[in-house]
Structure 1
Amino acid sequence: MIEQERLPDIRTTAQAWESLFRAQVAVMRRLQALPEFRKLSVREYDVLFNLTRCPGGWTRLNELNENLLISQPSLSRMVDRLEAKGLVLRRTAEQDQRGIEISLTEAGRELQRRIGREHVRHLHELIAPALSAEEFGQLQALTEKLRSGLSPGC
């Protein structure tokens, strides 16, 4: 946590946030237009990508939702569509019969890998010219510090 006397003023905080947000919007608009996102939307791909990071292969719907910028009802409808496409499986949670867990199917895992390879290549082509390797390291360190500085539930 930053010491109280080192806190930035409110205007500096707002301007930095606005800049970060606008940079993300600019990048995301360019990414959404890429050919790899014709089969799946960026948001659908994000669900598949986050499922690849689940240690046991299965995760509760509400836990998955913590990593996404989408409402719980919207995520539920999206999972319905992904399940209909054969990309995810759904089951009743083993620990709590009221909850739902989801996992990638083999087809979902393969599609995520295929899109992911193209996505990373296009992302690199898009943003690598903007910053040096050192600046990308600083950006990563700063965004990780920002995320870890948020209290749980934010």
Structure 2
Amino acid sequence: MTIGATTTGPIKRTRTSAVTAWESLFRAQVAVMRTLAAEFPTRDISFNEYDVLFNLSRQPDRSLRLRDLNKEVLLTQPSVSRLIDRLVARGLVAKCPEPNDARGTVIRLTDTGFEMFRRVAVEHMKSITARVGDRLDPAELETLAALCDKLRGIE
């Protein structure tokens, strides 16, 4: 056996396995997201608006710098800015100047926004449980969370 033959085989299998795993992960994510969006429990806010409220609700003071919020949500930066403006107009979030950076903006979840989030979250959790929690056992759910965190660089 030549050196090229021994190193090419495992490398090719690793690449193939990585592509296969990515394809499976991506298709599962799309399928779950489509179902959750279709089953989203309200027309009062959109799935993407809920994502913003969800991310803000997880912060100790229910606020994030806009640039940090952009890193957390599932939308592109220009879309987030427009979405934030709509949420501000409805009183669900507030835009505040960044205390340490005059160019920055802090997005804060209002009490009205938090109440909206909580009301929707209870029903949305039922869809998540049915689509994910009821299909995997507790050990699989733990493994899935650990693997996804590892892929995201959270270990």
TM-score by length of 1: 0.87
Q: Distance in 1 between matches of 2:129 and 2:63?
A: 30
Among candidates 20, 23, 34, match of residue 29 of structure 1: 34
Counterpart residue number, 1:120: 125
> Closer, same or farther in 2 for the Cα pair 1:98/1:77, shift >3 Å?
same
1:6 Cα shift? 9.4
- CA deviation vs aligned residue, 1:18-69 (integer Å, no higher than 9, x gap): 1111111111111111251422111110000000122233211010011122
What letter is aligned with 1:94?
A: P
Structure 1 residue 138: Cα displacement:
1.0
TM-score normalised by L of structure 2: 0.86
Measure, in 2, the Cα distance between the counterparts of 1:107 and 1:120.
Answer: 20
Question: After alignment, is 55-64 or 84-93 more displaced?
Answer: 55-64
State the match for 2:94 in structure 1.
Answer: 89
Between the aligned partners of 2:117 and 2:97, the Cα distance in structure 1 is 24
Tell me, which stretches of 5 or more residues in structure 2 are unaligned?
1-9
How many residues in Structure 1 have an aligned counterpart in Structure 2?
146
Change in 2 beyond 3 A, CA 1:54/1:129: closer
Aligned CA-pair RMSD: 2.1
Matched residue SS, 1:40: coil
Q: Pick from 55, 63, 72: which aligns with 1:58?
A: 63
Aligned counterparts, 1:130-141, within 5 A = 130-141=135-146
* Equivalent residue number for residue 67 of structure 1: 72
**Candidates 45, 51, 58, aligned match of 1:40:** 45
Gaps of 5+ in 1: none
Deviations 1:67-113 (A, max 9, x none): 12212111110000001111000111111011111101101000001
Larger Rg, first or second structure (1 or 2): 2
Q: Structure 1 residue 7: deviation in Å?
A: 10
User: Match of 1:142, SS?
Assistant: helix
Deviation at 1:129, TM superposition (A): 2.8
Structure 1 runs (4+) deviating above 3 angstroms are 5-8
Partner of 1:107: 112
